Chain A
């Protein structure tokens, strides 16, 4: 979603600063998994607000539908049946972009301006700049972006950057019937999460906690989990996610180093040419060859 912005924190494949005069409040979406009933109202609201429609699929033996994120499904519910000490828990997690403070997608993206991080923390894809290479997928520690089969561009949750920019909450928050989805300043969301965690601990969930993983600098979508010590229970939510070292190796110092290396080779060649001159065929060979061809 493109929007004229003066509050750009970072821009993909861009080495100079972007317009960043406008400072906005750091926002966050809080997903209280412990209050979520998996009704999918957020999925519907997302499709309605953004005017996207996934295909009418099939049942694949579980409640999850659409069964995965896609170019048109920017958020999906993931249902996990977890049994522990004879007690069943139906863990329902709304999956989608986490809006990392240190976004791997943006790091990996080669197309200038295809991924923007705003000062409020939202990481947004600007699909008109997207070339569809899918590097954002390799950069994402949460396996979120998807290339649309329809137009070959990468899509994901925008945190309704268009709504938030005009002071509204994201569509999913508006639609959530139980208050499992909350939105506001990141600070307030953390305070709200604290309250929830106290309640959960009083109900026997001693490991209840907030998921705001430091490995990606914290996120602007956070979870309240009953088992914060084991996020992987919730449909493989990564425990301590980080941008893959592969992406770091590739995107870090190695690229400028490689460019410098190539530059050195070219410069070396030039220097060589200038200092040594071109190799010409020596007189001795000219004559010898002539003689030999005649004989």
Chain B
């Protein structure tokens, strides 16, 4: 979230789209209720289904799954052609006035630089036009035909209300109603907040859907504002923490990136990531990359990391390709992977195309599952009749189950969607032989290190030399790990302004990432978390909910990264002169000498507004990007592409380029995509409030609340197919079939799309062959193996199915 949960209450318009906050985030959803009750907010929901969220909405709008870019692109077109944008904001705080380079083109659904066989773009033509001074050129009058705003106008002029309705199935008048509601927040003192979740991320164009939302919010001047923002609702209590700590194959902690195999030169690696400002006088915070990186290396390898050995750069793995989950299972499937560790992860339920997963897991030599539960994955080799029809005799994989404790059985912090690190204390000991996750990992590490020490190996250095200074080496405590993430001084840190003053003594914990150094005098496990456990104590365990401003920022409650800041880009809540846009919601302001306010200002604290330092300090141009230059795999402007399994078989905007041209598809998976002639209905998966993923099917109470697998269809489709509520039905895709009870509802309506009637079939996940619920099928029996081109998040939200009475 750019903002945070409590801040939702400050919104004037709340939009839930690409998510179902009431269903999947009922506790956070209270802030929507609060905005309605006490801020007179208008609440709208845009979703293929009339959801639990929609039940409380002032307005609900149907949309075909996978067409959110078309919808929001239409909103952009409306805002631009009806002049409903926050002008001052757009001109000063976005890249609207920057000039796009001449080489950039968009034709027939493709941007310039497309490499068709490689299914990827050469993005070099997507930059700004650079001036002789080394900075990007601008036209503050916004007249230049190639300035971002005009390019944007041109790009989205195709997204007329008629076109939007034709693609999304949302009736035109209803679409225009959304535009009108959103446009009311283009004035400086009104805001819209967008709340989204996996309804956006789980598409082959998921990242671009979120981008389109960001574009709308930038045009409306709603980023950095209380009650505004683009707010990702994370699906696990600590999934924000997972990404923050870089638990993805291509990341290091704090969104630092792993080098690829071509980056063998340390300085080149660093230079590429230490961005140069694109406009004068900008903070350009990523210019600090070396400080974050060196401190991380010092944290990992301690004294072994020296300037001379490039801080152990050579010990870092260098990626040939990204090892996302779909690639992992592709490799398994091809027999190119021997062993696999699943920790707190049930891939048999969470990765697409179950049949392929079973085939892959069956070829492993060993599978290690670290989990509190007997997950479906850990029992993939068991025959459970129709629900998991395998022959155990033919599966040679050795499965090792290491029982772990659950979150309540250990100390630690959880990072919520709003980036708050909240400390929690162990509530009970793990049962039986179960151990904490850190203890299990430490045990494996120590054993491996022992083996390397004894037997050597191809490349033992990184492991043998890893810092491991825990009081009890096989049980690193949560406190020790948290302090490691926060970072400490390895020698006295001297004040740059007063050399006699020692800021932090050797060995002391750092106050924050501003103290990090690139000379090896600081160690820090995750720069973003620096400040969370200082010499003053555990900032994450703070529980003072006083809220002097009334905006709900509660700066003394837990710790919010970065720097305990609650609303990102909050400098943008002020006009260029440093005065809040909305006098009733004063978040931060320039008091004549410094930035101050109800939140930690997101700007250099002493940079006077007259210096022209802009609010988006992580960008080298200092402004929000309406045009993403080279950051996105499929183009600088989001463009609507159909799901890989599209019920209309074409793309009304450009029939030659139907689906995301930059999405990676493995050979074999492409052939498994279904077509609308055999599988005519738009399938989509989702969660229910009563359950959490595949965990709570092991819990009696949750099983009582929703005991048996079901699918949801509209009354019209049910009538067509002769299906009544409570019937058993069979839902099939080109990859497999599931059987479930039918819930027949008025809440799913057929949509008119491109001259066709499109029906949705809703497939809640949550059931499987393990647990105390009635046994069910893993929903990903149906889903296709393709993901977002940037994040490789699988397209679980849009695929094709057929349905019949079982």
- Residues of chain A at the chain B interface (Cβ within 8 Å): 34-35, 37-41, 43-44, 47-48, 53-63, 65-66, 81, 83, 88-92, 177-180, 195-196, 199, 202-203
Contact A58 B26, beta carbon cutoff 8 Å: no
Contact B37 A199, beta carbon cutoff 8 Å: yes
Contact flag A179-B30 (CB < 8 Å), given A81-B746, A203-B58: yes
Contact B772 A56, beta carbon cutoff 8 Å: yes
Report how far A58 CA is from B774 CA in the complex, Å. Answer: 7
Which one of B33, B690, B701 lies within 8 Å of A48 (CB-CB)? B701
Contact B726 A61, beta carbon cutoff 8 Å: yes
- Nearest Cβ on chain B to A198's Cβ, whole angstroms: 11
Chain A residue numbers with a CB within 8 Å of B23 are 37, 39
Contact flag A55-B704 (CB < 8 Å), given A61-B724, A90-B50: yes
Q: Considering residues B689, B700, B742, B774, which has the most beta carbons from chain A within 10 angstroms of its beta carbon? A: B689
Which one of A37, A88, A89 lies within 8 Å of B689 (CB-CB)? A37
Report how far A202 CA is from B40 CA in the complex, Å. Answer: 9
Chain A residue numbers with a CB within 8 Å of B709 are 59
Contact A179 B773, beta carbon cutoff 8 Å: no
Contact A57 B704, beta carbon cutoff 8 Å: yes
Which one of A34, A35, A56 lies within 8 Å of B700 (CB-CB)? A56
B52 CB within 8 Å of chain A: yes
Chain B residue numbers with a CB within 8 Å of A63 are 706, 743
Report how far A63 CA is from B22 CA in the complex, Å. Answer: 15
Chain A residue numbers with a CB within 8 Å of B743 are 59, 61-63
Closest to B690 in A: A40
Which one of B26, B52, B727, B747 lies within 8 Å of A61 (CB-CB)? B727
- Nearest Cβ on chain B to A88's Cβ, whole angstroms: 6
B60 CB within 8 Å of chain A: yes
Report how far A28 CA is from B701 CA in the complex, Å. Answer: 27
What are 24 of the A-B contact pairs (CB < 8 Å)? A35-B37, A35-B56, A37-B23, A37-B689, A39-B690, A41-B26, A47-B701, A53-B704, A56-B772, A56-B773, A56-B774, A59-B726, A61-B725, A61-B726, A65-B690, A65-B704, A66-B704, A177-B27, A179-B30, A180-B33, A199-B36, A199-B37, A202-B40, A203-B58
Which one of A41, A65, A88 lies within 8 Å of B747 (CB-CB)? A88
Chain B residue numbers with a CB within 8 Å of A39 are 22-23, 26, 52, 689-690
Contact flag A37-B706 (CB < 8 Å), given A47-B701, A61-B725, A88-B746: no
Report how far A196 CA is from B23 CA in the complex, Å. Answer: 23
Report how far A48 CA is from B707 CA in the complex, Å. Answer: 17
Chain A residue numbers with a CB within 8 Å of B796 are none
Closest to B28 in A: A177
Q: Considering residues B29, B56, B700, B747, which has the most beta carbons from chain A within 10 angstroms of its beta carbon? A: B56
Contact A35 B741, beta carbon cutoff 8 Å: no
Report how far A289 CA is from B765 CA in the complex, Å. Answer: 95
Which one of A37, A40, A88 lies within 8 Å of B705 (CB-CB)? A40
692-711 of chain B: CB within 8 A of chain A: 700-710
Report how far A66 CA is from B708 CA in the complex, Å. Answer: 11
Chain B residue numbers with a CB within 8 Å of A92 are 55
B684 CB within 8 Å of chain A: no
Contact B707 A65, beta carbon cutoff 8 Å: yes
Closest to A91 in B: B55
- Nearest Cβ on chain B to A100's Cβ, whole angstroms: 28
8 closest A-B pairs by CB:
A61-B725, A61-B726, A90-B55, A37-B22, A59-B708, A59-B741, A39-B689, A81-B746
Closest to B699 in A: A44
Contact B724 A57, beta carbon cutoff 8 Å: no
Chain B residue numbers with a CB within 8 Å of A53 are 700-701, 704
- Nearest Cβ on chain A to B39's Cβ, whole angstroms: 11
Closest to B741 in A: A59
Beyond the given pairs A40-B690, A59-B741, 9 more chain A to chain B contacts, judged by CB atoms under 8 angstroms and listed by A's residue number, are: A37-B689, A39-B26, A47-B704, A53-B704, A59-B710, A61-B727, A177-B26, A177-B27, A178-B26
Report how far A41 CA is from B56 CA in the complex, Å. Answer: 17
Contact B33 A178, beta carbon cutoff 8 Å: yes
749-800 of chain B: CB within 8 A of chain A: 772-774
Contact B708 A58, beta carbon cutoff 8 Å: yes
- Nearest Cβ on chain A to B417's Cβ, whole angstroms: 15
Q: Considering residues B54, B703, B704, B708, which has the most beta carbons from chain A within 10 angstroms of its beta carbon? A: B704
Which one of A58, A177, A178 lies within 8 Å of B707 (CB-CB)? A58
Contact A56 B703, beta carbon cutoff 8 Å: yes
Q: Considering residues A38, A44, A178, A203, which has the most beta carbons from chain B within 10 angstroms of its beta carbon? A: A178
B744 CB within 8 Å of chain A: yes
- Residues of chain B at the chain A interface (Cβ within 8 Å): 22-23, 26-27, 29-30, 33-34, 36-37, 40, 50, 52-56, 58, 60, 689-690, 700-710, 724-727, 741-747, 772-774
Report how far A180 CA is from B40 CA in the complex, Å. Answer: 17
Chain A residue numbers with a CB within 8 Å of B33 are 35, 178-180
Contact B707 A56, beta carbon cutoff 8 Å: yes
Chain B residue numbers with a CB within 8 Å of A180 are 33
Report how far A199 CA is from B26 CA in the complex, Å. Answer: 22
Report how far A92 CA is from B50 CA in the complex, Å. Answer: 13
- Nearest Cβ on chain B to A283's Cβ, whole angstroms: 82
Report how far A53 CA is from B702 CA in the complex, Å. Answer: 11
- Nearest Cβ on chain B to A14's Cβ, whole angstroms: 36
Chain A residue numbers with a CB within 8 Å of B703 are 56
Report how far A64 CA is from B165 CA in the complex, Å. Answer: 34
Report how far A86 CA is from B500 CA in the complex, Å. Answer: 75
- Nearest Cβ on chain B to A23's Cβ, whole angstroms: 33
Report how far A196 CA is from B689 CA in the complex, Å. Answer: 25
- Nearest Cβ on chain B to A75's Cβ, whole angstroms: 12
- Nearest Cβ on chain B to A175's Cβ, whole angstroms: 10
Report how far A58 CA is from B775 CA in the complex, Å. Answer: 11
Chain A residue numbers with a CB within 8 Å of B30 are 177-179
- Nearest Cβ on chain A to B775's Cβ, whole angstroms: 11
Contact flag A88-B60 (CB < 8 Å), given A61-B727, A177-B29: yes
Report how far A44 CA is from B23 CA in the complex, Å. Answer: 16
Contact flag A61-B27 (CB < 8 Å), given A38-B689, A40-B689, A53-B704: no
- Nearest Cβ on chain B to A20's Cβ, whole angstroms: 38
Closest to B50 in A: A88
Report how far A58 CA is from B741 CA in the complex, Å. Answer: 9
Chain A residue numbers with a CB within 8 Å of B55 are 37-38, 89-92
Report how far A177 CA is from B689 CA in the complex, Å. Answer: 12
Report how far A203 CA is from B700 CA in the complex, Å. Answer: 40
Report how far A35 CA is from B702 CA in the complex, Å. Answer: 22
- Nearest Cβ on chain B to A164's Cβ, whole angstroms: 23
Chain B residue numbers with a CB within 8 Å of A65 are 690, 704-707
Closest to A55 in B: B704
- Nearest Cβ on chain B to A223's Cβ, whole angstroms: 15
Closest to A92 in B: B55
Contact B746 A61, beta carbon cutoff 8 Å: no
Chain B residue numbers with a CB within 8 Å of A43 are 705
Contact B707 A59, beta carbon cutoff 8 Å: yes
- Nearest Cβ on chain B to A127's Cβ, whole angstroms: 21
Contact B745 A81, beta carbon cutoff 8 Å: yes
Chain A residue numbers with a CB within 8 Å of B773 are 56
Report how far A179 CA is from B22 CA in the complex, Å. Answer: 13
Closest to B25 in A: A177
Report how far A178 CA is from B727 CA in the complex, Å. Answer: 33
Chain B residue numbers with a CB within 8 Å of A89 are 55
Report how far A54 CA is from B704 CA in the complex, Å. Answer: 7
Chain B residue numbers with a CB within 8 Å of A66 are 704
- Nearest Cβ on chain A to B273's Cβ, whole angstroms: 41
Chain A residue numbers with a CB within 8 Å of B774 are 56, 58
Report how far A58 CA is from B55 CA in the complex, Å. Answer: 24
Q: Considering residues B22, B33, B53, B706, which has the most beta carbons from chain A within 10 angstroms of its beta carbon? A: B33
Q: Considering residues A41, A48, A195, which has the most beta carbons from chain B within 10 angstroms of its beta carbon? A: A41
Contact A61 B700, beta carbon cutoff 8 Å: no
Q: Considering residues A41, A56, A58, A177, which has the most beta carbons from chain B within 10 angstroms of its beta carbon? A: A56
Closest to B51 in A: A90
Report how far A272 CA is from B26 CA in the complex, Å. Answer: 77
- Nearest Cβ on chain B to A46's Cβ, whole angstroms: 10
Contact flag A44-B701 (CB < 8 Å), given A58-B774, A88-B747, A178-B26: yes
